[in-house]
Amino acid sequence: MDRLEGMSKLTGEERYTDDLELEGFLWGMTVRSPSPRGTIREIRFDDSFDFSSCVVVTADDIPGPNEVRLIEVDQPVLASKTVRHVHEPVLLIAHESRDVVRRAVRAVEVVVDEQEPVLDYRKAPNPNQIQHSTDNILKRLEITKGDVDAVFRDADHVVEGIYETGAQEHLYLETQGMIAWVDADGVVTVKGSMQCPYYVLNSLKHTFACDESRVRVIQAPTGGGFGGKEDYPSMIALHAALLAVKAGRPVKMIYDRNEDMASTTKRHPAHVSYRTAHDSDGRLLAQDIDVRLDGGAYVTLSPVVLSRAIIHAGGPYACDHVRIRGVAMLSNSVPYGAFRGFGAPQTLFATERHMDRAADQLGIDPVQIRMVNLIRDGQTTSTGQLINDGTDRQKVLQQALDHADYQNKRKENRAFNLTHPFRRRGIGVAMFYHGAGFTGSGEVYLESKVRVAGLPDGRIEVLSANTEMGQGALTVFTQIASAAVGYEPDDIVIAEPDTFRVPNSGPTVASRTTMVVGKLIERACEDLVRAVGGDSDTRGQSLCNAIRAWHQANPGAQLIGEATYTKPPGIDWDEQTYKGDAYGTFAWAAYIADVEVDLRTCQTTVRDFVACQEVGRVINPTLATGQIQGGVVQAIGWALSEECIWDRGAMANAQMTNYIIPTSGDVPPIRVIFDENPYEYGAQGSKGIGELPMDGPAPAIANAIAAATGSDVCRIPITPERLMANMGLCDVE
């Protein structure tokens, strides 16, 4: 099936937040902290500017707690006493002229008495830098399996390494935007760009101290998210709503690119210390891993990012003795948040770069060390999760090798490198996995609910809170529902995500939408069939007739089928010990990058990229392929060019001019291969795929660069400057 809303996007008819018609509205903007840490001494309003026609909101205007409700409530909606990062929101201004409100923001000065900020999360904080608990640790987690110390005492081969990954900006092409108004019944309503309407609703309920009948959240068509519109929309929605309530008029807030890049969340930087013990065949005897994440100024989602980071840190390998310790540290930078992969890309970069270094140190082929250690059915992950899914992981790797013509390329590259004066080619592999859906008991706590409505004309409407942000949810939901009931896709309607209409089917995150929510759609459809007295033969036209008949017998009533999440049998997770089934299932993948480095500039070019993955059943090949290709290219950017430059906690390159994402000219065609092993508890046998392609490219590319140059690259992005320094070709980085 073609993308449902594809043609309206291609013709420019799709209406995003900034495109929506709105009468009599004000433009809202944010006054932000100039300082990474300190106490607010004064907010100065420039006498020469006339603020009388502006609406100004301060922390005093907040009706309920001045807290953004997420996992914790430590982040203020508007800083009132202290600030913890540059660009932290302090004050809101609205005016009907965008020019005037821009000038007004510049006419306000936030005067801060500075305190010593934490600008490097890797260093232990001084006593005067402590801002959270007694140690600035936002979250600490540990996985243990077996007796790691005993194995290392007797090990013949020990490999150590330190791996670092940098912050990454989402750079969705549509910036954050939100519209707010108070409707005729006094309901505070927000509509805008977001992944998770119920996250926004919960934060509005908390800050406006009211129940869900007094606040309403509607998702507008959303121009990309990648996790960047998971948590941050709560903030901008609160701001727009506060302004709209005070102004008594609709308020629109649209961040420009600079504001968006400077002040919204990014991928957590990570520092991973990796130590492994091996036998002489390369078999993993023990893994001892320390993961340190930069959490930024507030807790936000760091505890769960850390959780996914450490669970994936062991890689897709069988090892009987594992210790993985993780901490998320406070620093005085913008809070780090959700970003596609959610901690896993950071630790898998370490794992897969480390496997190549181990192979190198032990004198084993990099493919062989992976084949030897790849988890086989009947073996367990680091958390003790028994893998028994029937997927042949060695075959996934072999397919990737075959498509990449790996062995021949290696030989060709060696020959090329011997003859070429300044170009060096190398090919690198990464093998990895990604847990689909929420970690541990997360899906159980969500209690996700989906409804389907049988409409009087016989069509079926799907009501869920899950959102289209480009990934294809509208299309895939339509496919799943139409297949479930035997309808044509045209006779399926997907409801606009509006918290006054749709149940809470959970957030659109964690590669869960197709697999988990899609399954709920299938079950809700079964429930609908039961509601009209049908059976398994009641499909297509007979179901349509039954729905129409039901409405004739029950005029004005609503015909609803419903399903609530129940965990698949045999899934057991212990939150306290971090043992058990961390995910319902995993997707498995092998990625191969063939690169060329120009030794004159140390510029790396990816010449070929093969992405082979087992993702359960593929429901829509075009959309699934696009997800993989897009994720791979986003990860190529993270690996090679995307670097956030920090200046006292502020992003110094908060613009597209010098924050460099790949163009079409920078990347090769991404060759995608699916190995399909249907997963019983995913819709139509699907597993999650959205995040998977973020995990593999960076280590595959780093391994390829190491093969090409002999340079032991362990930190990304591998910019020309960094590689040049790493190769000893220049003095400073």
Positions that interact with another protein (CB under 8 A)? 2-3, 5-7, 9-16, 18-19, 96-97, 99-100, 170-174, 221-226, 256-257, 469-472, 622-623, 625-626, 628-634, 655-657, 661, 663-667, 669-670
Q: Whose Cβ is closer to another protein: residue 628's or residue 702's?
A: 628
Task: Encode burial over 43-82: b for 16+ CB neighbours within 10 A, e otherwise.
Answer: eeeeeeeeeeebbbbebebbeeebbbbbebbbbbbbbbeb
- Residue 168 per-residue DSSP state: B
CB of 2 to another protein, least distance (A): 5
Q: Whose Cβ is closer to another protein: residue 2's or residue 598's?
A: 2
CB of 663 to another protein, least distance (A): 4
CB of 298 to another protein, least distance (A): 26
Q: Whose Cβ is closer to another protein: residue 12's or residue 127's?
A: 12
CB of 372 to another protein, least distance (A): 32
CB of 607 to another protein, least distance (A): 13
CB of 666 to another protein, least distance (A): 8
Q: Whose Cβ is closer to another protein: residue 101's or residue 306's?
A: 101
CB of 590 to another protein, least distance (A): 18
Q: Which two tokens stand for residue 455?
A: 């409409």
Beta bridge pairs of residue 141: 326
Q: How far is CA 50 from CA 27, 103, 252, 706, in A?
A: 17, 10, 21, 60
CB of 593 to another protein, least distance (A): 14
CB of 637 to another protein, least distance (A): 9
CA dist 540 and 525 (Å) reads: 12
CA dist 210 and 230 (Å) reads: 22
Q: Whose Cβ is closer to another protein: residue 269's or residue 472's?
A: 472
Q: Whose Cβ is closer to another protein: residue 54's or residue 485's?
A: 54
CB of 603 to another protein, least distance (A): 16
Q: Whose Cβ is closer to another protein: residue 137's or residue 667's?
A: 667
Q: Whose Cβ is closer to another protein: residue 186's or residue 665's?
A: 665
Q: How far is CA 493 from CA 193, 197, 475, 482, in A?
A: 21, 19, 11, 10
Q: Whose Cβ is closer to another protein: residue 257's or residue 539's?
A: 257
Q: Whose Cβ is closer to another protein: residue 9's or residue 157's?
A: 9
Q: Whose Cβ is closer to another protein: residue 582's or residue 606's?
A: 606
Q: Which two tokens stand for residue 414?
A: 């060696």
CB of 173 to another protein, least distance (A): 4
Closest CA to 680 of 298, 389, 379, 291: 389
Handedness of CA 119, 125, 129, 135 (dihedral sign): positive
Q: Whose Cβ is closer to another protein: residue 202's or residue 686's?
A: 686
- Residue 127: count other Cβ atoms within 10 Å of its Cβ: 6
CA dist 412 and 405 (Å) reads: 10
Contacts of residue 91, Cβ cutoff 8 Å, sequence gap at least 6: 30, 31, 43, 56, 57, 58, 78, 108, 110
Contacts of residue 447, Cβ cutoff 8 Å, sequence gap at least 6: 504, 564, 565
CB of 501 to another protein, least distance (A): 23
CA dist 351 and 234 (Å) reads: 34
Q: Whose Cβ is closer to another protein: residue 569's or residue 669's?
A: 669
CA dist 637 and 719 (Å) reads: 10
Q: Which two tokens stand for residue 670?
A: 């991404």
Cβ–Cβ < 8 Å for 301, 381 = no
Three-class secondary structure of residue 162 per DSSP: strand
CB of 644 to another protein, least distance (A): 16
For tokens 């987690």, what's the residue? 141
CA dist 449 and 498 (Å) reads: 14
DSSP, residue by residue, 691-711? SHHHHSHHHHHHHHHHHHH--
Alpha helices (runs of H) in 160-231, residue ranges in sequence order: 197-207
Q: Which two tokens stand for residue 351?
A: 């794992």
Closest CA to 510 of 293, 272, 341: 341
CA dist 356 and 359 (Å) reads: 5
| Burial class of residue 187, CB neighbours in 10 A (0-12, 13-18, 19+) | middle
